[in-house]
Structure 1
């Protein structure tokens, strides 16, 4: 029973994370970054790796 609970928990976490990932690129399409849960909390966005995305 314990293995079933662990397997279900892992499957739920993977399904949640795969549904919340994505990629954002700037309008010039010369730089993009991936995010895990939300684009605003991406490490690349925080350090300004691509500069402003809206330009």
Structure 2
């Protein structure tokens, strides 16, 4: 029974995280970055890899 609960919990965590991923690109479509939960948590955005995406 413990294994079933662990499996269901792991499946719920994976499905939640995979449903909260995405990508943002700038208007010129020449650069984009991926994020896991929200765009503000992307390392690429923190270091300014693409510059401002609202241009």
Q: Which runs of 4+ in 1 moved over 3 A?
A: none
Q: Secondary structure at the match of 1:27?
A: coil
Aligned length: 55
Match of 2:41 in 1: 41
Deviations 1:23-47 (A, max 9, x none): 0000000000000000011000011
User: Please, which runs of 5 or more residues in structure 2 have no aligned partner?
Assistant: none
TM-score scaled by structure 1?
0.97
Length-normalised TM-score, structure 2: 0.97
Q: How well do the aligned residues superpose, as a CA RMSD in angstroms?
A: 0.5
Segments of 5+ residues of structure 1 without an aligned counterpart are: none
